Structure 1
Amino acid sequence: MTDYLQVSTVLATRQDAAYLARSATHSRLAAAAQVIGPVLSMTWHEGTLVETEEWQLVLRTRVERFDQLTAYIVDRHPEPDPEVVGVPIVPGTRSYLDWLDRKTSVVPG
Structure 2
Amino acid sequence: MDDEPTTQPAPTAPPVPGTPTALTVLTTADAEGKARELAYGAIRARLAACAQITGPVTSVYRWEDEIETAQEWQVLLKTTAARYAALEAWLTEAHDYDTPEIIATPVVRGSAAYLEWVERETTD
Selected match of 1:29 from 36, 47, 51: 47
Selected match of 1:87 from 87, 105, 108: 105
Give the share of equivalent positions with the same residue, in percent. 35
Structure 1's unaligned 5+ residue stretches are none
Deviation at 1:47, TM superposition (A): 3.0
Q: How does 1:1-109 map to 2 (within 5 A)?
A: 1-106=19-124
Distance in 2 (CA, whole Å) between partners of 1:23 and 1:51 is 27
Distance in 2 (CA, whole Å) between partners of 1:44 and 1:75 is 23
Q: Which has the higher helix share?
A: 1
Aligned length, in residue pairs: 106
Distance in 2 (CA, whole Å) between partners of 1:80 and 1:67 is 18
Q: Which of structures 1 and 2 has the bigger CA Rg?
A: 2
State the TM-score, normalizing by the size of structure 2.
0.82
Distance in 1 (CA, whole Å) between partners of 2:119 and 2:23 is 12
State the TM-score, normalizing by the size of structure 1.
0.93
- RMSD, aligned α-carbons: 0.9
